[in-house]
Structure 1
Amino acid sequence: MTARAGLAALLLAAALPAAAQSAYRWVDEQGRVQYSDQPPPQSIKKFEERKVQPNRGDALEAFENRKAAGSFPVTLYTGKDCGKPCDDGRALLKKRGIPFSETTIETAEQVAEFKKRFGTEPYVPALVVGRKIESGLAEGLWHSLLDDAGYKAKR
């Protein structure tokens, strides 16, 4: 085997653990639930085997974003004629994997409610993260607001 072929085989072997692996669950003779990446002893006849994928980081980002959403919920305020800026703001939040609600300001009552709540005229799109608001689409400011609240960007 050449050095190059040996290196290729070594790299392939190193990549194999990244594929799906098995996880086992069974109840031992003392009635305790056991988990392992190794099959149970042969004396155990009933067990569960599951194929698991290695964590790619997406699950951690999603968890951290749900955690941030509990303390700092995100609302995107849009207008019925907002067009591209609102579409771009919505796309930014979706690309980052941010859970958010969207409110469209259409009526005079909704404008008055916005003014009462935030003390300012609605200028859409507006991003509200917790109690902080950023009016108008300024991507850098929106990212900073989300980062400060603990939201993680998708990699």
Structure 2
Amino acid sequence: MSKPLSTHLLASLLMTLACTSAQAQGVYRIVGPDGKVTFSDRPPADAQAPAAARSGGANAAASNGAALPYELKQIASRFPVTIYTGSDCAPCSSVRTMLSARGIPFTERTVATNEDIAALERLSGSSSLPFGTIGGQQLTGYSDVEWSQYIDAAGYPKQSQLPSSYRQPPATPLVAVKPVAPTAATPPKATAPTRPVPAAPTDGPTQSNPAGIRF
């Protein structure tokens, strides 16, 4: 269990949050023409990721059509909250429940595949879950006291101010796989026309050979 932050440390925390409010990004898996796989925090040029998958905070609310109160929208824009969760993870459920109860708009990334785990290690330096970011501040694991102190330092209200119409956007995978363009169907091979086989001569007289002569 983390200890409460001192007043001096809390002030330093607020300054750190203000100076490092870079928004957490999704990680995209890109397969090049040569088959080489690379990862980037920028979506490929030909793929348009949904707004909720690229950003947190205020944009997450915009994606579900609910307008945030002005003050909350400003805070969410400066210090967006993103959490990284896994299945069968009790602490992940705890941080999700705490944020929802507090009325904090957030973006959730799921970590399920080996590629997700590798991307998480590049982001956080470990594969521990839950992992979260508040602006540029990173948090590994879950402690109600620690998370609450960082959220307070960012300026989020202690009571929910979310409108009743607000719905949390669905969680999305950490690694967004670039869709593979369908290949053109191979046209069927043309078959050579068959030549008619001449009929074998018949024995006996015919209209053109009344004598039935065979050579």
TM-score, normalised on structure 2? 0.40
Matches of 1:62 and 1:91 in 2, distance apart? Answer: 21
> Which secondary structure state, in structure 2, belongs to the residue aligned with residue 116 of structure 1?
helix
1:92 matched to 2:109: no
How many Å apart are 1:64 and its aligned residue? Answer: 2.6
How many Å apart are 1:73 and its aligned residue? Answer: 0.8
Corresponding residue number in structure 2 for 1:131: 136
Check 1:96–1:62 CA distance in 2 against 1; reply closer, same or farther (3 A cut): farther
How many Å apart are 1:133 and its aligned residue? Answer: 1.2
How big is each residue's C-alpha offset from its partner over 1:62-88, in whole Å with a ceiling of 9 and x where there is no partner?
A: 433221110111011111221x22221
Matches of 1:63 and 1:122 in 2, distance apart? Answer: 36
Q: How many correspondences in the alignment?
A: 93
How big is each residue's C-alpha offset from its partner over 1:22-59, in whole Å with a ceiling of 9 and x where there is no partner?
A: xxxxxxxxxxxxxxxxxxxxxxxxxxxxxxxxxxxxxx
- Report the residue type matching 2:130 in the other structure: P
> Which secondary structure state, in structure 2, belongs to the residue aligned with residue 77 of structure 1?
strand
How many Å apart are 1:113 and its aligned residue? Answer: 1.2
How many Å apart are 1:149 and its aligned residue? Answer: 1.4
Corresponding residue number in structure 2 for 1:72: 79
Contact between 1:126 and 1:133, CA under 8 Å: does it hold in 2? yes
Matches of 1:67 and 1:124 in 2, distance apart? Answer: 28
Matches of 1:71 and 1:129 in 2, distance apart? Answer: 9
- Report the residue type matching 1:132 in the other structure: Q
Check 1:140–1:62 CA distance in 2 against 1; reply closer, same or farther (3 A cut): farther
Corresponding residue number in structure 1 for 2:112: 106
Corresponding residue number in structure 2 for 1:54: none
Bigger Rg, structure 1 or 2: 2
Instruction: Give the unaligned 5+ runs of structure 1.
Output: 1-60
RMSD across aligned positions (CA) = 1.8
- Report the residue type matching 1:81 in the other structure: D
Identity fraction in percent: 35
> Which secondary structure state, in structure 2, belongs to the residue aligned with residue 92 of structure 1?
helix
Greater relative CO, 1 or 2 (CA 8 Å, sep 6+) = 2
> Which secondary structure state, in structure 1, belongs to the residue aligned with residue 82 of structure 2?
strand
Corresponding residue number in structure 2 for 1:141: 146
- Report the residue type matching 2:139 in the other structure: E
Matches of 1:122 and 1:95 in 2, distance apart? Answer: 26
Structure 1 residue runs of 4 or more that deviate by more than 3 Å after TM superposition: none
Q: Point out the structure with the larger helix share.
A: 1
> Which secondary structure state, in structure 1, belongs to the residue aligned with residue 142 of structure 2?
coil
How many Å apart are 1:136 and its aligned residue? Answer: 1.0
Q: Point out the structure with the larger strand share.
A: 1
1:154 matched to 2:159: yes
